[in-house]
Structure 1
C-alpha cells in the first residue's frame, strides 16, 4: 500500500550514515532482489572503505533517504563503463509504501545528468515498476553473474533521457 503522506528527505550521504546503510544492505531478501552485489557485501570494513572512497568521488552522487529523522535507504548515481548508472536500496520495513518512487523522483530533480541507466534483475518487479513510474524505458537486457544468487541471471536495462 502506498503512503503518499511520508515526507522524504534526500541529503548527501555522510560517513556517519554508512553504519546504518551497511546494516540495511545485509537483508537477504533485498540482496536476492538486488542480485548484483559485491562478493564481500557482509564485510563491514570492506563496505566502509569502498563507500568512504565513493563519498569523495566527484562522479558519484550519493544521497541518503530519510523519513522522520530515520535513515531508510540510499540512492546514487555513479559511472560504469562510461554510462551514468543509478542504484538505490530501501530498508525492507519500508517496502510497498511508494518510498523508492518518491525518492527517485526527487533524486532525478537533483541529479540532472542524462542519459541515466537503471539495471534490474528480471524478477525484481518492484524496482521495474519504480523505474517505469519515473519515466525510464526498458531498452534491452543483459546477462551477468549475480553474486547474491551465485548464478548468471538476466537483468533488464532501463534508460531515462
Structure 2
C-alpha cells in the first residue's frame, strides 16, 4: 500500500489515540473520530476502495486480493513546478494542477461576474475559450507561483494559489489567494481550504516565515475564512484601494 502523511495540526497529547495492537484491515474502516486524530498526528493512512473508507496504512492486510491505495503526497522544493498528481489535504479535499482537459469546467466555474466581483482583475465578460486556456497554461508555466484546482469529493470547485516574492523587503513571505465557483458557495469550502492550504504551504516551504492575503473590504466571507485560519488584519493594502492585507506568522502556528 502506498503511504502518505497528512499535515500536522496542533492538538493536546491527550487527544492522540493510544497505541493499540495492529488492526486488521478486515476489521473495517476507522471511525471519524480516529480519522481526525490520525490526521492530527501525521499517521499514514490509505483509502480502501473495497470498504469505501480510510484504514491505517500499517494495518494487517488480510484482504490482499483487494489492495488499499492512497494518493502520494508530493514534497515540493521551493519555487518548483508541482506534479499534476493528486495532492491530499484531507480525504474530502484534493489538489491538482489544471490541465487542458479542464477547459469547460474552468469556464463554467470562472465565467461569472459574481466570482470576479472580489477578484483584483476586471471581469473579461465573457471569459473566452482562448483566455481561459491562456490562464490555465499560465498557471503551470511559472516557478513564481503554485496554482491548484480544488477538488471536493471528486468535483472541481475552484482554485487556490501560493505566490512568491510578493513583498520587496521580505523574501521569506508568500501570498495565498483563492476563488470558488458560485455553485459551491455556502458549503464552507473557502474556510476549509484556507486553513488546510495555509498549513500545507508552510510545511512544504520551511523557509517561509509568514503568509499574507489580500481581500476586498466588502468580501465578508473570505475575510472570515482568513481570520478563522489565524490571519490577522495588518491594515489597508498599499496596492489596491478598498482592500485589506492580512498576515499569518509561522511562529503562531506551531509548525
The answer to whether the Cα contact below 8 Å between 2:95 and 2:150 also exists between their aligned partners in 1 is: yes
* Structure 1, gaps ≥5 residues long: 1-5, 146-152
Alignment-derived partner of residue 148 in structure 2:
63
Q: Among residues 113, 121, 125, which one is paired with 1:37 in the alignment?
A: 121
1:98-136 deviation line (CA, Å, top 9, x unaligned): 111111222123212432211111100000001101111
Higher helix fraction (1 or 2): 1
Residue 90 of structure 1: CA displacement? 0.7
Residue 144 of structure 1: CA displacement? 5.6
Residue 13 of structure 1: CA displacement? 3.1
Q: What is the DSSP-based 3-state SS (H/G/I as helix, E as strand, rest coil) of the residue aligned with 1:77? A: strand
1:110-129 to 2 correspondences below 5 Å: 110-112=200-202, 113=205, 114=208, 115-129=210-224
Residue 143 of structure 1: CA displacement? 6.2
Higher relative contact order, structure no. (Cα contacts within 8 Å, ≥ 6 residues apart): 1
Structure possessing the higher radius of gyration over alpha carbons = 2
- TM-score, structure 2 length as denominator? 0.51
RMSD of Structure 2 on Structure 1 (CA): 2.4
Distance of 2:167 and 2:136 partners within structure 1: 19
Alignment-derived partner of residue 244 in structure 2:
156
Distance of 2:123 and 2:157 partners within structure 1: 23
Q: What is the DSSP-based 3-state SS (H/G/I as helix, E as strand, rest coil) of the residue aligned with 1:86? A: strand
Distance of 2:188 and 2:177 partners within structure 1: 16
| Greater shift in the superposed pair: 96-105 or 6-15 | 6-15
Number of residues paired by the alignment?
148
* Structure 2, gaps ≥5 residues long: 1-90, 250-255
Runs of 4+ aligned structure 1 residues displaced above 6 Å come to none
